[in-house]
Structure 1
């Protein structure tokens, strides 16, 4: 059986440059919703869980608000920098989104083959 990292999440061309979308991924702890953000040829991902209240960040299913380089949580307005996921405004200032490392190989976006312990910190 293939490992989760062996299966592509999507094609890079399926992602709109500068926008974030939700994708489901099978992680070591089970299936999770990810926030996937494309910036040129780079792709970053975080668990779709706000550290403030544990709710999803999307305004509508799979749709996220990005304003002035920050990803804004729909529930309480927390703002997370799109380069590293750190909360720079709102009720969880100083906390951060849990990054999920990705790679782009032959135009396919995949989970990186890094250990599960690396699910905190930055990705991209």
Structure 2
């Protein structure tokens, strides 16, 4: 497993970028649960964010691709609006314990 950050570094309704072995990731906390995805839009294969740690929409209920406006469900990465509707973000296994948030190998 790879340590990503302490739990407090990813508060409720926020997102954060990570990089592990050259792979860009994004984490989102929603309803206390941490979701981890590869930071790669299925539409063009480019990063989703336009600014550091900026992945969620104004309501913090959807992940948004800043480049083409695609919207993804936080809970499963499914695109529900935009040019890649029906496609999904690549989900990654994560684990949270008393030390913080970990990427599972």
TM-score using structure 1 length: 0.77
Structure with higher helix content: 1
For the structure 1 residues 23 and 107, does the alpha-carbon distance in structure 2 shift closer, same or farther, using more than 3 Å as the test?
A: same
Unmatched runs of 5 consecutive residues or more in structure 1: 114-124
Q: CA RMSD in A?
A: 1.5
Looking at CA atoms only, which structure, 1 or 2, has the larger radius of gyration?
1
> Counterpart in 2 of 1:25?
20
Q: 1:64-117 CA deviation, whole Å, 9 max, x = no partner?
A: 23245211101101110011000000000000000011001224111124xxxx
TM-score using structure 2 length: 0.89
Question: 1:10 is matched with which residue: 5, 26, 35?
Answer: 5
Matching of residue 97 in structure 1 with residue 89 in structure 2: yes
Q: Which has the higher contact order (CA 8 A, sep 6+)?
A: 2
Unmatched runs of 5 consecutive residues or more in structure 2: none
